[in-house]
Every structure is written in structure tokens, then in C-alpha cells.
Structure 1
């Protein structure tokens, strides 16, 4: 008789149900695993055999066949150890067959039978809830998986504990969700001396999830400003936290099963590869843009990134998702992030300082900023020149709004947007609005419309640039608490769009 256990195979953040079939038949002793397993899955037979041996369970001298169905779906990862062991234990009449068929299992087996944590417990729990099944996983993964709430999660320390649980000898209590990670932002926006215009741009970008680029001389405070973004962003909503945590679960970034309400802040180095930024590599894992989902992707020294890497950002910025297509994988990851870039105006960094600029001015600046293509630069809603701070200003006491003050205004603006787009599931911030919806919520008054048309004609705004000005103006109006977009809001949005210091050639 064929026994069955169930587990999942991961395709992006989607967990697809896999049926693990086990047949013990007469014949020469053998242990075969079929169904497109990778090397880690194929090696499971040795781990399972040794783990069972440590429990004084000997395999029969027969032919054991494990089939992973559907057979045309690639199976990757060591989490198949536990369901294979369960199917085999059921075939040996050691555990009840009907009990394991109502459970999705995942976990890696140690040679002594203990269960080792694996990646992807949270997406697996989501799949278990959709299938109306329970989830069996290593004890260290239980707190993470229990956040789903719609399914019972059993976290076991060893295979022996699993057997005793199914036999009713020592039932395992369901796992409880991990502790929500506390958010503490030590960096305050008030620490930044001067740079009031850059602070204003930062507030607008945070309020509407607009893409932002800082350009300025070395030491002017670009990175310092960007590092204070987490302190002004509102916490993740429950649905956003769960979706973001699913991606982090696949990457092993969840700490002891705790889900953080803080928005991700990713800052990859400019030597990062395309696979590291966009996603890919072995198993088509998520990249930095997906790990920054619902948060911020900060790219310092922006022109120093390889040109091919920068150009791959163009489509994800527009669509909010990325499809990693490889010869053996074709997966989709969400990547709705706020891009914040920082760059020097030229290679030496002192293009605007006559006393320190090189002899190739202005050609050096055009060549350096030319590494950022026009279509990519067109996707930045806010372009800000960050001038050097005077030495005399550094000795002045801290002034201006604190991060807490700015965060309060940002939260109110986001709340207005959430209420406005409550009936549109794919739209949460002003940066998502487009088409008729954008025209409906961001159409300016007569004077504002005239100003926008004049600016578009004079400065040659693209259609994308035109609509991005409308989105930024809508966010500025939300920060001011206005229901309608006026000429003042349009003027400020245009001023951030047409900064001469960051125009691409």
C-alpha cells in the first residue's frame, strides 16, 4: 500500500503543495527518491536512514520508493527530510497514516534524529492554511509559522518527539507566535545641521513613497540624511508585515520567529551583482529589491553601480514586482520599494567647488552622471542638490523638527492616502495612483494646471514626468491637510523635479 505525506516546494514566495508518496515493495533492497529532486533532496535517504537507526528503527530488506508529486516540479532544499521520514514511518505502520495526511511537514533531519530549522516556514504555514491542514516543522521554526494564525503549528525538537506526538504518548503543544521585534531608531533627523530643503524632500518622499536622489559633494550629508529615513516612516500594517516577512523567511532573515513592524531598510554596496540586487542565483532567491519590499532601498554611490544593474531597476520601479527568469526557474517576487539614491556630482566630487574641481569641468560631471541613463533618472520623483554645510553651522545647536515630529506628519499623510484608496486593493500610496484614478485625485486647480502645462512645455517633461509631478503634488497637499491640489503644491513639486544639479545629460 502507498502511504502519503505532504510538504511544499517554493517558487518565489509561493509554496506549492507536494505529495510525498512512499511504497515498500518486494525486491532487492534499495532506497530511491524520484520526482525531480535536487542533490539535497537525493541525499535525504541517507539522513533518514541514519536518523531512524538512531531511534532503533531498522528499514526492511525491501525496495523503498519515494515519489515527489507532481514529478515535473523541481524539488530543492533539505526541508523534504521530515515528510519523507513520515511517509516511510507510515508505510512501516509506526505512525497512523490518516494523521500525517492532514499535515504539511517540513524540516531537515540531523543524523541523531533532531530537527534542524529550515527556510520558508512562514510561506509553508500560509499554504497549510489554504489547504486546511496543520503544519509540522522544527521547533525553532514554530514561532515564525504561528503568525499565520489560521492553522495549527506543531514545532517538534526531534523525529522521536514527532512519533510520540502522533501515537498520543506525549502530544506537543501548538506553537505560539514569536515576539514582535521592537523598533528603535537612534538616529534623529534633528542631528543633521542645515539641509532644510533635503529634509523637506525626505519628508515628501516618505509620505508618498516617492523615489528620491541626492546629489552633492562628499561629506555634505547625503548618507546621513538617508540613514534617518527609518525613523520617519510609519510602521508596517499587519498585511504588509506578513507579506514582507514571507520574503525574509525565504532568506533566513527572521530573528527567532519574531516579525518586525519596522519597514525594511536595505543598503547594498555598489559592488553587488545583478543577482544580488534583482534576485537569482541558486534557486532564484529574492534580491535586495524584494528584501526592501514595503520599505526603502538605499543605493549610495549610485553611478558606481554597474550600468546593467542600474538598468534592471527600471521595470521593477514601475510594476512593483520582478520576475526572475532563469533556465530552470521562473519566479515572481513583489518589490514595491522606495528607492533613495545618493551620488557625487562628478568623479572627484567637487564639481561645484571652483577651488577644488578638476580641470575637466564640466565634462567630468557630464560623463559621471551620464552613467545614470535618462529613462532611469526620469523615474526619480524628487531630485535634490545637497550643498556642503558651512563650518560655522556645525557649531550651532541642533534645530528644526525631530524625527518624531516629521514621522507624525508622514503618518497623517499616509492615513489620508489609505482612506482615499481603501476601495483600490492595488493602490496604497500616491506613488501607486495612475490613469483615471490619478486624474481624479490629483487634478490641480486652474492656476495649478496652467503652471504645470507651462513647465511641461518649457522643460520638456515626459508623460511619465508629468504624472510624477502630479503624484508629488498630491502628497504635498496631503502633508498640508488639503483635499485639493493647488498652484502652490504644483510649484513645489516642479521645483524638486527640475533641479539643475541632477539633470541627466
Structure 2
């Protein structure tokens, strides 16, 4: 029989659809054709595979070779199909047995010497193969990444000859050996390094508990970046499934994961010259952008008004939905984007409006134009806006006091408060639905009348109304988890929407 079928995985967003590699040998002039909507890198596989087979001491069939990648409507790109194509050709020509091919998937790019090279998107492929109960063979360069996925049978190989020897029963392939993880413990910047800024520290704690978005406003050198960099250190640790999803996005993007720290929350800080595609993702073959690389972590945008207005506006939808769909003529890809936005900006173009120590040189019109670079709809989606004033020099030079708590101390309070929201709704307060909001953010008659009056005076939108309630619910959780929101919880939540 001159027909053989091997299995592999394509890459589509963070999904990994199955691809059947059907190889048929027939009479006619010797040639190799690959069909099934292959891109340029896949079409070039016929030359890589032929030379790799010959250099591995196997015989390339002197017949007409037809390789079909099914399903045909799925675009296929990259060198990830090389190993499956080579094994299909060898199986169709009777040089390796077919018995182990049925329940096994193969990923890997072939060098001309027959060595296996790493490919991107291994984690999504392993997660899908696990749900099918199949064994997967991957290059050794992907071994540490493959070891992150539990309960999946993974084998690693160095060369095409190793895989063929395993199929023939000559030897066994090794299992991947993982790198010990720190379990999500954070040893990064500590909150104790920040002097003063009690209100900003309080807002950072509220942000960590509820998963809210935060905007820090203050003159240069007041500690806005320091505060933002310390947010991941007080966030609750990721679950294993969340950590795997975050690592899968990095794998699809072709970025190296620090496997010893794979359980830590990501912190992304793109420069303000970043384009919209760099921020949300895109390209001819859609790749994740910064908002997806910050999934389950923090996206920090320093000098927020310096970003292009168009770039900032593309954040509005993913901030609400938690994902981004990138549409192109030939394909659509959806990437998760459940991030916490932390922005930092100066109060005016020169940076010193409201600073008692330095005089502002900006006119009211200049300040208004500077602040209007951030649109109202985007500001409406940011839950907390906090002023970060300059810290007195005497306080900067003093040793840490009891008010300068460490990240570990704050994290304990965050975990305790977050646990209440998880028991109540199964998700952080920033993500609860409107129906859950009505259930979990009950107000007494007097508090409701006071709250409605405050909203009318401030002229807040319906979205702001719900966001203030979510922040108030988070404050109440930090205050012991009262069933009814008190006026003090509402008042503190309202003061964070002064901008």
C-alpha cells in the first residue's frame, strides 16, 4: 500500500487545529507536490524533507509523491509540518512501520542534516493533544516547554533517525525533563522600596484585589513607574490553567519563556512609539500583541498621553471583553487579553502642574489639550485615577517605616480579600456581570439615595456607575467583606473618579 497518514497540528491564534498529512506514492515522472493551502514555508518543505531523508540514510522514493494537508481550507505556514511529512513519505514507501502513527502526533522542523529544530506554538498543540489522549513527539529544543503540560505523553527526539528508530522498535525516545519552578513566588521589586504615597499604595492594593484598571497622575520622579512595577508582586498567584494559557501565548508569539518563572504574572511595558498592531496584534499571519502577552498580568503604559490617540482607542474593546479578534482577508484569529491596565501620565506637558516646589509653565489651553489626548470613553473604562504627589526629601532619606509595608504583607491582605470575591462570584470584582453586580453590591435605602445624588452631581455615565460599584465592592472586601456597601465604601470609590 502506497498511502500513509500522519498527524500534526497547525497554528491558528492560540488554537492548534489538527492536520492530517496524507502521503500517496504513484507512478509517473518523479516529483513531489504539496496541496492543502500551504504557504511558502510549507511548499519549501519538499526540498528540506527530501535532503533530510537522504542524509539520514533512507531512500527518497523515485516516484510521484503527493502530500495532502487536510483540512484543505485551513491555511498552513511554517516548518512545523516537516517531521510529519517526512514520516508519511517513509511510511508510504515501506521504510518505517505504520503501527505507531495512528495514535501519535509529530511536530518539528527538519534541518538538511536530519536534525530536528524547535517550532513555535508547542504548548497549544500539547494541550489539544492531551484532550485527544494522543502521544506527541517534539524536538528536544522544545522539551522544557513541553514538560509544563501535565498528563500528556510527550517524547523528545534529536533527529529524524531517532524517530524512525523508535517507530521500528530499535530504541525508546526520552521523556522531557522540566525545570524546577518557583511556584509563582515573586522576588521582584518590593513595595517597601516606595516611600510615602499612602493613597497611591492604597489604590494599588484595591487594584490588585479587584482586578481593576488604574491611572497614576503626577509630576516626574514621584514614583509612578515604581508603583506600577510592584503591582505583579502583590497580585494573587496564577492557577496552573491560567499560567499555561499565558505561556501558550508566548509560545505562539515565538518568545522565550523563563521556565523557572512560568507561574509568575507577566508585566509588559511597551514604549509609547508602539503601533496599534504591536499593541493589539496583527500581521498577515496574525500574531499576539502586547495586550495578549500581558494576559493574566499587567500592561503598563508609561507617558500615556504620548501614545497615538488611534493606538489608545484600540484598547477600548479588549478592556471590556477580555479578548481581541484579529480579522484578515484569509483568516481570523482570537487571542485572550484579560489584562490589568496601569497608565502613568504627567498632569501637564511640562509635568509640574500642582507641584508646590516647581512652577508650571503651561497655559490652561495647553493642559486641556494634553489631557484630551486620552479620550473620555477610554477614561470611562479606567476604574481608579490617583494623583501621585512629590515625596518630601526628608521622607526619601529616612529608613523604611511601618507605613512602608512589604509586598508580602500587602499580598496577604490581597489574597484574603480576593478569596471573598472568588467564593461569591468565582471571579474578581472587575469581571462580575451586571446581574451579579445587583446581587453582590446591595445598598441600603439611605446609601442608595446618597449615591444617586453623588452620581448626578458628578455627571457619571452608566458604565461609570457600574464601575464605581465594583470598586466599592472591592473596598468592602478589604474592609472585611460586609454584605451591604457602606457610604464610606462608596465615597472612597467615587474619589478615584475625579479626573
Query: Is the 1:245–1:254 Cα contact (8 Å) retained in structure 2?
Result: no
Distance in 2 (alpha carbons) for counterparts of 1:353 and 1:238: 45
Task: Summarize the alignment of residues 178-327 of structure 1 with structure 2, pairs less than 5 Å apart.
Answer: 178-181=179-182, 183-255=185-257, 260-327=262-329
Offset at residue 453 of structure 1 (A): 0.8
Query: Is the 1:144–1:256 Cα contact (8 Å) retained in structure 2?
Result: no
Distance in 2 (alpha carbons) for counterparts of 1:279 and 1:311: 14
Query: Is the 2:126–2:149 Cα contact (8 Å) retained in structure 1?
Result: yes
Query: Is the 2:443–2:486 Cα contact (8 Å) retained in structure 1?
Result: yes
Offset at residue 97 of structure 1 (A): 1.4
In structure 2, the residue matched to 1:40 is 41
1:377 and 2:379 equivalent? yes
Offset at residue 46 of structure 1 (A): 1.3
In structure 2, the residue matched to 1:157 is 158
1:438 counterpart SS class: helix
Change in Cα spacing, 1:405 to 1:497, as seen in structure 2 (3 Å) is same
Deviations 1:435-468 (A, max 9, x none): 1111101123333322321111100110000000
Distance in 2 (alpha carbons) for counterparts of 1:469 and 1:139: 51
Query: Is the 1:210–1:431 Cα contact (8 Å) retained in structure 2?
Result: yes
In structure 2, the residue matched to 1:483 is 482
Query: Is the 2:214–2:385 Cα contact (8 Å) retained in structure 1?
Result: yes
Offset at residue 107 of structure 1 (A): 0.5
Offset at residue 233 of structure 1 (A): 1.1
Offset at residue 55 of structure 1 (A): 1.2
Which moves more between the two structures, 467-476 or 131-140?
131-140
Offset at residue 296 of structure 1 (A): 0.6
Query: Is the 2:107–2:138 Cα contact (8 Å) retained in structure 1?
Result: yes
Q: CA RMSD in A?
A: 1.6
Distance in 1 (alpha carbons) for counterparts of 2:250 and 2:369: 38
Task: Summarize the alignment of residues 103-142 of structure 1 with structure 2, pairs less than 5 Å apart.
Answer: 103-142=104-143
Distance in 2 (alpha carbons) for counterparts of 1:447 and 1:188: 41
Task: Summarize the alignment of residues 294-373 of structure 1 with structure 2, pairs less than 5 Å apart.
Answer: 294-353=296-355, 356-357=358-359, 359-373=361-375
Distance in 2 (alpha carbons) for counterparts of 1:248 and 1:450: 48
Distance in 1 (alpha carbons) for counterparts of 2:50 and 2:258: 30
Query: Is the 2:355–2:389 Cα contact (8 Å) retained in structure 1?
Result: no
Which moves more between the two structures, 483-492 or 285-294?
483-492
Change in Cα spacing, 1:295 to 1:490, as seen in structure 2 (3 Å) is same
Deviations 1:46-91 (A, max 9, x none): 1111111111222122111111111111001111111111111111
Unpaired runs of at least 5, structure 1: 423-427
Tell me the TM-score normalized by structure 1: 0.94
1:414 and 2:415 equivalent? no
2:16 counterpart SS class: strand
Distance in 2 (alpha carbons) for counterparts of 1:46 and 1:14: 28
Distance in 1 (alpha carbons) for counterparts of 2:171 and 2:246: 35
Which moves more between the two structures, 220-229 or 55-64?
55-64
Query: Is the 2:349–2:362 Cα contact (8 Å) retained in structure 1?
Result: no
In structure 2, the residue matched to 1:30 is 31
Distance in 2 (alpha carbons) for counterparts of 1:210 and 1:346: 25
Change in Cα spacing, 1:40 to 1:256, as seen in structure 2 (3 Å) is farther
1:137 counterpart SS class: strand
2:21 counterpart SS class: strand
2:23 counterpart SS class: strand
Offset at residue 256 of structure 1 (A): 6.9
Distance in 2 (alpha carbons) for counterparts of 1:445 and 1:397: 44
Distance in 2 (alpha carbons) for counterparts of 1:224 and 1:265: 13
Change in Cα spacing, 1:71 to 1:257, as seen in structure 2 (3 Å) is farther
Distance in 1 (alpha carbons) for counterparts of 2:124 and 2:325: 18
Which moves more between the two structures, 348-357 or 130-139?
348-357
Distance in 2 (alpha carbons) for counterparts of 1:452 and 1:90: 73
Distance in 1 (alpha carbons) for counterparts of 2:78 and 2:359: 54
In structure 1, the residue matched to 2:94 is 93
Query: Is the 2:82–2:109 Cα contact (8 Å) retained in structure 1?
Result: yes
Change in Cα spacing, 1:355 to 1:203, as seen in structure 2 (3 Å) is closer
Give the length in aligned residue pairs.
494
In structure 2, the residue matched to 1:469 is 468
Distance in 2 (alpha carbons) for counterparts of 1:9 and 1:226: 37
Deviations 1:336-360 (A, max 9, x none): 1110000011211122247755554
Offset at residue 469 of structure 1 (A): 0.6
Distance in 1 (alpha carbons) for counterparts of 2:188 and 2:128: 38
Distance in 2 (alpha carbons) for counterparts of 1:3 and 1:258: 40
In structure 2, the residue matched to 1:425 is none
2:69 counterpart SS class: strand
In structure 1, the residue matched to 2:492 is 492
